Amino acid sequence: MKRILVPTDFSKEANKALEMAHLIAVKAQQERGDVEIDLLHTEEGVGQDSYQMTGAPLKNHMDDVFMMKILAKVQKKAKHLASLPEMADVKIKPFVRLGELKEVVADHLERRPADLIVMGNREMSDWDRFWEGSNSERLAYIKETPIIVAHEEVHPKLDTIVLATDKNHNIHSALTPLRELQQVTGAEIKLVRITTPGVDNHEDKVLEELVAFAQDNGLSNCSYHTFKDNSVEHGVINFAQAQGADVIAMVSHHHNMFVNVYLHDQSFEVKEHSSLPFLLLPAA
């Protein structure tokens, strides 16, 4: 892990994401050497010109006075965050990019590939989420980059990760970011299958399947669990809380908007309602 991307609008939710990214970077540096954080702010609706917050223009079309005033304010905020004493042990590079969030992030990752995106989560109404989706949903599957969505709880130890899965097949590549996060944090992975009413799941068989799943996907330092609840979403969250977990992880498969609306991606529901950091692992 060499670079973490943190999109920011300087809200308290975005600052929580920076806190989470800093925590991971510090732990990664102990194992892998220097890790840097790209702090990326976007201004929408004004084209695709770019400006690095160090002062070096990426293009030469920044003569709009109004935009320059906005950029000056953004620079000040970003430099303040990057210079906080608690951030001094990690290199933070602030950027401001102009354009729509998803396009800007995709272009930024093309220029400066990142191993992980960490972002905040802001509550949305069901209606807004239906039509627009959250920012993390908009950024999912960009270059298959994993996303951690930071919520109000960020635990400094990061020693317990819950991985909820109902898949028995090999998704080895999708779990690479999870294995890397485990390596830099030393966390235990608690593999869990949620069982719901009316579903005939024999516990011994499920546990055998989870052991086989871990072996097939190169997971180590794991424990294996089943947990009963009324729904998968509530079960994942309740199990994580009961176990004192620090992060919840789930694999999400890429569907188009029409399919997502009707198939109901459980990973996004857990992400939306959990108070713990949520690791979204994109799979084809």
For the whole model, what pTM was predicted? Answer: 0.82
Average pLDDT over residues 111-123: 87
Q: Which two tokens stand for residue 193?
A: 């299958």
**Contact present, 151 and 277 (Cβ < 8 Å):** yes
C-alpha distances in Å from residue 79, one per residue of 54, 55, 86, 87, 199:
9, 11, 14, 11, 53
pLDDT tens digit string along 227-284? 999 998 999 999 999 999 999 999 886 544 433 443 346 777 888 888 899 998 887 6
For 137, half-sphere exposure in the C-beta direction (CA atoms, 13 angstrom radius) is 23
The H or E element that residue 86 is part of is none
In angstroms, the CA 182 to CA 177 distance is 9
Look at residue 271 and give its three-state secondary structure.
Answer: helix
C-alpha distances in Å from residue 265, one per residue of 30, 104, 252, 254:
36, 25, 7, 10
Higher-scoring residue by pLDDT: 183, 51: 183
pLDDT band at 152 (very low <50, low <70, confident <90, very high): confident
The domains located in the chain, with CATH, are 3-150 (3.40.50.620), 160-283 (3.40.50.620)
pLDDT tens digit string along 23-75? 999 999 988 788 999 999 887 654 444 444 444 444 445 445 666 777 778 77
- Count of CB atoms situated within 10 Å of the CB of 284: 9
Q: Which two tokens stand for residue 21?
A: 């990214």
Judged against a pLDDT cut of 60, whether residue 141 lies above it is answered with no
